[in-house]
Structure 1
Amino acid sequence: MHRAASSVHKETHLTTIQIISAIIFGLALIHTFAAKSFETLASRHPRHAGLLHLLGEVEVVFGFWAFILIIVMAFVSGGDAAIEYAESRQYTEPLFVFVVMVVAASRPVLDAVQRLLKGVARIMPLRTELALVWLGLALVPLTGSMITEPAAMTLAALMLAPQIFRPGIPEWLKYGALGVLFVNVSIGGTLTSYAAPPVLMVATTWNWDSAYMASHFGWKAAIAVVVNATGVSILLRKYLHSNTSDIKPKAGEAEAPKVPLAVSLVHMIVLAGVVMLAHHPVLFFGLFLFFLGFVQAYERYQSPLILKEGLLVGFFLGGLVVLGGMQQWWLQPIVSSLKPLALFFGALGLTAITDNAALTYLGSLIVGMTEEAKYMLVAGAVAGGGLTVIANAPNPAGVSLLRRGFKDESIGAVGLLAGALLPTAVAALAFLAL
C-alpha cells in the first residue's frame, strides 16, 4: 500500500515537473523573442542597465531559464532529483560547438580560408567583393558537410561581418542575409551523415550513411543554397565596395606578421581532429587544451581567441539541453501522429520553437516510421533551421559573432524570422519538389 502511494506520489511529481518545464520553456521562448526589448529598456533605465543588458543577451536566455528549472525542480522533487536530472543530460554538443568555434575562428585558420576564397573569387566572373559574399553565403555553408555546421557558421560569420553586417547596409537587408546564412548552414550540412546535428541524431538508428544523405538530401540542399545565396547577393551588390573585401576578424591585424605555413597546418590539423573526435568530449577537449598552449607559444601569429563568445554559445546550448530534455512528453505525440506531408510542415514549424536535433531525435524513437515519413521529418527539421536562434545548434554562434552589426547590437527574433522566411520556403520547395 505504501509502495503504491509512493508510486502515485512520484507520478504526480513527474506530471507537475512536466507542466512546469513546459511553462518555463514557453517563458524562455518569449524571452528569446523579447530579448531586443531589454536592450531598449537598458538605455531608458541606466540604473538597472547591467541587469537589462544581461537579460538582453540572446545567448544567456536558455541558460538562465535552465537554472530556473533546476531550482524549481529542487523545490518540487528535491535537490537530489534536480541534480540527478542535470547530470543525466548529454552536454557533448555544447562543448563541441564551443571548442570548434574557438579553433575555427583563430587567425591562422581564417587567413587560410580567406586566401583560398579570394583565389576562387578572382577567377569568378564577378566583382571580387561580390564573389566573396556569394562564396561566404554558399560555398562555406556547404563545406559544413565536411567541417561540421558550427565550424562553417563561425567561418562564414567572421568572413561576412565586415562586408554585410556593418554600417551602410539597410537593417532589413542584414536580416535577409542573416536568414539566408542560417538556412544555408542548416541545409548545407546534409551532404554527409555526421555534420548536421539533426541528421546525426537519426543516422545510426536509420542506417543513413553519407552516400544516402548526398543522394536524397545533399544535391537538393545544394541547389537551394545556391538560389538563396544568389538572390541575396543580387540585393547586396550595390552596397558592396572594394574596401570591404579585405576581411580581417579583428582590428589592427594588418600589422601582424604573416602566419607561417607550419602554424597554419597545426591549426588545421587541430580543427580536423576536433571534428573527427566530435563525439568524444574528453578527447577533443584534451586536444583543445593542447591548442590553447600552442596559441600561447606562437602568440605573435594569433588574434585574441573568441573564448567569451564561444562560452556564451555553449551556455545557451547547455540551457537548451536542460530545458529541451523535459519537452518529450508533448513533442513526441505530435510528431508521431502526423502523416508524411503534414510531418514535414509540422517539423518545419516545431523547429522554430525547439532545437531541430531534439526534434529528429524524438522521431528516431518512434517505431515503425516509413521511409517517406523519416525523410519528411528530417527535411522539415533542416529546412526550418534558420527560423529562430534556437532552431539549429550553430545559430547562437552566428548571433554571437554578428549581433554587433545590428542596431542596438542585438538581433531581434522577429527580424530573423522575417529574414529567414523566403530562404526557408526555397529550401522547403527543393526538398518537396525535386
Structure 2
Amino acid sequence: MHRFTKIFVTVLILGLISSALYASKGSNSTPFPVPLSCYSEDYGSPNFLAERCDQVHGSEGFRDPEGASMAEILSHRISANPFNLVVSLIFLIAILHTFMANKLTAKAHQIHEEHDERMKAAGASEEEIKHDIPFKAELFHFLGEVEVVFGMWVIALLFVTIGFFDWTTFKNYMVYDRVFIEPMFVVVIMAIASTRPVVKFSEQLLGLAAGLGGHSKAAWWFSILMIAPLLGSFITEPAAITIAALLLANQFYKHRPSSGFAYATIGLLFVNISVGGTLTHFAAPPVLMVATTWDWSMGFMAANFGWKAALGILISNVLYFIVFRGQFAKMGKDEVKEASEEFHTPEVQKLKPGQMSHDEFEAMWAERETTIP
C-alpha cells in the first residue's frame, strides 16, 4: 500500500474509533438524513411530528407542492434544503473520481518517469533516484487509489454536514445509524484470503484438479472458475472471489489474454461466485438472511439450490471454453517460463530446507517478498 494511503486509512480509522468512543446520542437529536415524510407530510401533522421533522431547521417550508412534476419536486427540495444538492454533487464527484482513478495513476507514473529522467541527466546515482520520489507523483498516485476514493469524499461530507447541521449530527449518524459489521467482516475475510499461505494452499488444492488437464492454461482456467465459486459455500463468497481473482491473475491474466477473453472471464467469475454459495445455509449473505427464518438446512440448500447452481456453473464454463478455446494457444507464446513457477505449483519440484543448497534456501526465503499479482 502506498505511503499516503497508509496514512489516510490510519487517520480515517482512528477518527471513526474516536467518534464511537465519545458519541452520545440523545433522544431529541435532529433526524439525519432528513426523512422523506418531512417533504410529503403537512407541517405539524402526526406523521411529521413522529419523524421529529419539527426539529429540522427550516422544515416549515419543506412540504412538496401539490401536483408537481419530478423536476419541480427536485427543484423545490433543493431550494428548501440546499444540503440535498451539495451531498448529491459530492456523491457524483466520488463516482467520477472512481472512473478517473486509472488516469490519475498513469499521470503519477508519467511524473515519476520525467523526474527520474531529469535526475539522470543531472548525474544522480541509481540509489539517489530510487529514494527521491517527487511529491506530485505521490499525490497523484494517492488520488488514483480506488480504495480511498469514497473514504476521501466522506471527509468532504463530514465538513458539509457540520456546516449545515453540527458535529453531533454527523457523529451520531456514523456511530449509531450506520452498521459496519458486514463491511468490516468482508474486509477482514478478504485480507485473510489474500495472504500468501492461503493463496499458496489454494493453488496447491486447485492444482490437483488442474493436473488432470496437464496444468495447461485451459486446465487452470477451468479449475479456478469451477471450484473456487463452490468454495463460497464454505469459506464465504468474499473469500472465494479473492482467492479466485489472485489465482486467475497468476495462472491466466499473466499470460495476456485478449481484452474480450479477459473481460468475459471476469464477468463469468462474478456470475459463478454469485450462485456458488448456495450449497450451504451459512456462508452466502442472501441465504444467511432467510435460512433461520425459513428453517433451511444444509441438506435443503444442496437439494433445492446447490446442485442446480453447480450445474449452471459447469454449463457456463463449458460454453465459455467452447467459445474461447482457440485463444488459449495464442496466450503467452513469448514467455520463457510458466507463471505457475513463481508460486511453486505441483508441477515444480520442491525440496525440503535440509535438501537445499545455501543459494536455494536464500531464494526460497526471498520468495516471501514476491508480490502477488
* 1:180 paired residue among 268, 271, 275: 268
* 1:9 paired residue among 44, 48, 57: 57
**8 A Cα contact 2:200 2:343, kept in partner:** no
Q: Which residue of 2 aligns with 1:120?
A: 209
Residue identity matched to 1:135: S
Distance (whole Å) between structure 2 residues aligned to residue 167 and residue 87 of structure 1:
46
Distance (whole Å) between structure 1 residues aligned to residue 167 and residue 204 of structure 2:
53
What is the TM-score of this pair, normalised by structure 1? Answer: 0.50
C-alpha displacement at 1:202, in angstroms? 4.6
Matched, 1:30 2:82: no
Identity %: 35
C-alpha displacement at 1:67, in angstroms? 2.5
Q: Which residue of 2 aligns with 1:98?
A: 187
Q: Which residue of 1 aligns with 2:328?
A: 237
Q: Which residue of 1 aligns with 2:65?
A: none
Q: Deviations over 1:104-161 (max 9, x none)?
A: 233333333222222222235x654422221111211111111111211222122221
Residue identity matched to 1:98: V
Q: Which has the larger radius of gyration?
A: 2
**8 A Cα contact 1:129 1:245, kept in partner:** no
**8 A Cα contact 1:97 1:150, kept in partner:** yes
Q: Which residue of 1 aligns with 2:283?
A: 195
**8 A Cα contact 1:257 1:301, kept in partner:** no
> Aligned runs of 1:299-318 on 2, under 5 Å?
303=368
Q: How many residues align?
A: 266
The 1:84–1:17 alpha-carbon spacing in structure 2 relative to 1, beyond 3 Å, is: farther
* 2:168 paired residue among 80, 90, 106: 80
**8 A Cα contact 1:133 1:160, kept in partner:** yes
Residue identity matched to 2:200: D
Distance (whole Å) between structure 2 residues aligned to residue 100 and residue 257 of structure 1:
31
C-alpha displacement at 1:305, in angstroms? 10
Q: Which residue of 1 aligns with 2:218?
A: 130
Q: Which residue of 1 aligns with 2:200?
A: 111
Distance (whole Å) between structure 2 residues aligned to residue 17 and residue 206 of structure 1:
42
**8 A Cα contact 1:24 1:69, kept in partner:** yes
Distance (whole Å) between structure 2 residues aligned to residue 20 and residue 209 of structure 1:
47
Distance (whole Å) between structure 2 residues aligned to residue 201 and residue 305 of structure 1:
39
**8 A Cα contact 1:100 1:150, kept in partner:** yes
Partner-residue secondary structure (3-state), 1:190? coil
C-alpha displacement at 1:102, in angstroms? 3.2
What is the TM-score of this pair, normalised by structure 2? Answer: 0.57
Residue identity matched to 1:100: I
Matched, 1:246 2:334: no
- What residue ranges of structure 1 are gaps of 5+ in the alignment? 260-298, 307-400, 403-434
Name the structure, 1 or 2, with higher relative contact order (CA <8 Å, separation 6+): 1
C-alpha displacement at 1:304, in angstroms? 5.5
Residue identity matched to 2:166: G
- Please provide the CA RMSD for this pair: 4.2
C-alpha displacement at 1:78, in angstroms? 0.6
Q: Deviations over 1:1-40 (max 9, x none)?
A: 9998843528569976566544433333333233323234
> Aligned runs of 1:23-422 on 2, under 5 Å?
23-42=89-108, 48-88=136-176, 89-124=178-213, 128-166=216-254, 168-204=256-292, 208-234=296-322, 235=324, 236-238=327-329, 239=331, 243-244=337-338, 246=340, 248=342, 303=368
C-alpha displacement at 1:228, in angstroms? 3.3
Partner-residue secondary structure (3-state), 2:283? coil
Distance (whole Å) between structure 2 residues aligned to residue 34 and residue 246 of structure 1:
33
Partner-residue secondary structure (3-state), 1:191? coil
**8 A Cα contact 1:105 1:305, kept in partner:** no
C-alpha displacement at 1:215, in angstroms? 4.5
The 1:18–1:247 alpha-carbon spacing in structure 2 relative to 1, beyond 3 Å, is: farther
**8 A Cα contact 1:190 1:213, kept in partner:** yes
Partner-residue secondary structure (3-state), 2:340? coil
Distance (whole Å) between structure 2 residues aligned to residue 18 and residue 211 of structure 1:
49
Distance (whole Å) between structure 2 residues aligned to residue 74 and residue 45 of structure 1:
36
**8 A Cα contact 1:133 1:233, kept in partner:** no
- When structure 1 is superposed on structure 2, of 11-20 and 94-103 the one drifting more is 11-20
**8 A Cα contact 1:105 1:154, kept in partner:** yes
The 1:210–1:105 alpha-carbon spacing in structure 2 relative to 1, beyond 3 Å, is: same
Q: Deviations over 1:250-271 (max 9, x none)?
A: 9xxx999759xxxxxxxxxxxx
C-alpha displacement at 1:210, in angstroms? 4.2
The 1:255–1:27 alpha-carbon spacing in structure 2 relative to 1, beyond 3 Å, is: farther
- When structure 1 is superposed on structure 2, of 79-88 and 195-204 the one drifting more is 195-204
Distance (whole Å) between structure 1 residues aligned to residue 253 and residue 351 of structure 2:
27
Distance (whole Å) between structure 1 residues aligned to residue 96 and residue 291 of structure 2:
32
C-alpha displacement at 1:229, in angstroms? 2.9
